[in-house]
């Protein structure tokens, strides 16, 4: 397991993150890391602890993807996530959720924050997913998440055996148009929740 604390304790956080699955990413000419997918027992608790250490603020929300195709099987998944930014990287907190054990299997028995996946921003999720699939790393989960005017396409790839971590391809759209990031929206929403005295919302 890769623990988030080890990255925070590193002399250079950004360099430590960049070193994750470096050989695998270089071998397959993959984009740079944009997101750290962090599995936690409880999103709200983890967000509180990280904010107390100066990270965040986190925007926490519960909801369900409009698509969760796992190993070719449609599943009804629901869960909770938290979004924040640190040193240029997006931090995504994720609870085990319901309807799948995809996140559950990455939980640390001692409750430590685990780096489950590395999110890479791409224009065309399926194109990149097909590319890695052709190299012997099939799609684990193909999903889609819609929140208001934003749509997130994503594909988790089965890369753990060689890369040591799951690789995720992510594509954002706002009002149907591709965007490089939704950071400004998540940061604004996190600050608004703080002002309203709420820890999380339902989407």
CATH of the domain at 178: 3.10.180.10
Q: What is the pLDDT of residue 195?
A: 83
Residue 190 near residue 57, CB atoms below 8 Å: yes
Q: Got the DSSP string for 57-103?
A: --EEEEE--SEEEETTEE---BEEEEEEEETTEEEEEE---BS--TT
- Domain span at 105: 4-202
- pLDDT given at position 143: 97
The domain tally of the chain equals 1
Which is it for the CA torsion 19, 21, 27, 32, positive or negative? negative
Give every residue of the chain whose pLDDT is below 50, as ranges: none
Question: Checking phi first, is residue 52 left (phi over 0); if not, alpha (psi -120 to 50) or beta?
Answer: alpha
pLDDT at 189: 79
């Amino acid at each position: 397991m890769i623990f988030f604390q080890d990255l925070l304790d590193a002399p250079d956080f950004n360099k430590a993150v960049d070193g994750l699955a470096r050989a695998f990413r270089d071998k397959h000419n993959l984009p740079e890391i944009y997101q750290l997918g962090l599995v936690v027992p409880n999103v709200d608790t983890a967000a509180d602890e990280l904010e107390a250490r100066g990270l965040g603020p986190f925007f926490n929300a519960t909801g369900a993807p409009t698509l969760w195709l796992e190993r070719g099987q449609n599943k009804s998944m629901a869960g909770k996530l938290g979004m924040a930014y640190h040193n240029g990287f997006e931090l995504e907190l994720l609870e085990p959720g319901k309807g799948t054990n995809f996140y559950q299997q990455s939980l640390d028995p001692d409750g430590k924050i685990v780096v489950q996946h590395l999110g890479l921003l791409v224009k065309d999720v399926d194109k990149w997913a097909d590319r890695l699939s052709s190299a012997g790393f099939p799609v684990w989960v193909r999903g889609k998440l819609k929140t208001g005017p934003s749509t997130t396409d994503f594909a988790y790839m089965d890369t753990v055996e060689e890369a040591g971590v799951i690789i995720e391809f992510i594509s954002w759209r706002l009002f149907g148009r591709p965007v490089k990031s939704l950071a400004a929206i998540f940061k604004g929403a996190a600050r608004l929740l703080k002002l309203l005295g709420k820890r999380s919302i339902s989407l």
